[in-house]
């Protein structure tokens, strides 16, 4: 074999040995990296550090649908840099009464517009007083069986704004359980000989007002809502709804001039 051929073979052998050595070094380096001995973070460590680095100010607890528990929630915790820090719950929310005016009130089988039957007594009085001013009269809580009331429940109360009387009971009624003091009825009536109500001027959701004619009432609610031979009230208007709720109007006058003189909603009292 010629000398130059031997040199070529030696050179090729050296290259093969160097490449084999580099391959072994790479294999060893990869093995050390996956075991965490090289000081470089593995994939799981990168994910963990990324999660812990999240700004705690943006961490929020997920809302739980359907959670209706009253009162503040219990304390939660936030982990920052390995330390657990308690997060105090917010203070309980304060109920703010809805501000309404007299024009927002509507005589309905289910209540007075935005104040439905079943609303607790304090919220009802606060809302009505804000809309109508101070009441003209307040009976205070009386035995429900007294002659002036004759209402359901053990105790009842009548509060008056001009021609509008609002009644409360401690239940039970169709809108409140026994022991719950709530709004359950109203009466809106003309004084004898008067053609217009005193105090607030109210109407039904359909626009019917006291002093309306029988034909006007029939055109709004239909002829089927009119009863002309009621045993105690004569001619009346009855408005019913699918759920709990009822409204009755009473007419007075001659056949040629029958006018609506009273509208009452709810269970009603017999006093």
Per-residue pLDDT reduced to its tens digit, 179-219: 999 999 999 999 888 878 999 999 999 999 999 999 999 99
Block residue for tokens 């703010």? 96
* Tokens read off for 18: 């160097």
Q: Are strands 182-189 and 257-266 parallel, antiparallel or unpaired?
A: antiparallel
SS3 call for 61: coil
Query: Whats the size of the chain, residue-wise?
Result: 271
Lowest mean pLDDT among 22-31, 88-97, 126-135: 88-97
DSSP bridge pairs for 160? 137, 165
Per-residue pLDDT reduced to its tens digit, 158-174: 999 999 999 999 999 99
DSSP bridge pairs for 79? 84
Of 229 and 21, the one with more pLDDT:
229
CB 112 within 8 A of CB 105: yes
**Domain range list for the chain:** 1-29, 104-266
């Amino acid at each position: 074999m010629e000398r130059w051929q031997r040199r070529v073979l030696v050179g090729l052998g050296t290259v093969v040995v160097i490449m084999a050595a580099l391959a072994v070094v790479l294999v060893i380096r990869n093995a050390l990296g996956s075991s965490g001995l090289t000081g470089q973070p593995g994939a799981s460590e990168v994910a963990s550090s990324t999660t812990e680095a999240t700004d705690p100010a943006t961490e929020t607890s997920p809302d739980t649908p359907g959670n209706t528990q009253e009162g503040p929630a219990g304390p939660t915790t936030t982990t920052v840099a390995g330390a657990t820090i308690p997060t105090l719950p917010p203070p309980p929310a304060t109920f703010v009464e809805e501000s309404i005016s007299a024009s927002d009130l509507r005589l309905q089988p289910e209540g007075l517009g935005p104040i439905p039957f079943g609303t607790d007594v304090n919220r009802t009085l606060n809302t009505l007083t804000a809309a109508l001013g101070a009441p003209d009269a307040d009976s205070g809580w009386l035995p429900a069986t007294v002659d002036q009331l004759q209402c359901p429940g053990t105790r009842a109360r009548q509060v008056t704004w001009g021609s509008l009387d609002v009644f409360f009971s401690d239940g039970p009624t169709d809108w409140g359980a026994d022991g719950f003091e709530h709004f359950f009825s109203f009466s809106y009536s003309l004084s004898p000989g008067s053609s217009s109500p005193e105090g607030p001027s109210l109407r039904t959701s359909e626009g019917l007002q006291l002093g309306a004619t029988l034909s006007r009432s029939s055109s709004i609610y239909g002829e089927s809502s009119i009863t002309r031979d009621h045993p105690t009230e004569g001619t009346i208007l009855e408005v019913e709804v699918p759920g709990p709720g009822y409204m009755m109007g009473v007419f007075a006058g001659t056949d040629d001039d029958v006018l609506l003189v009273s509208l009452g909603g709810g269970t009603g009292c017999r006093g």
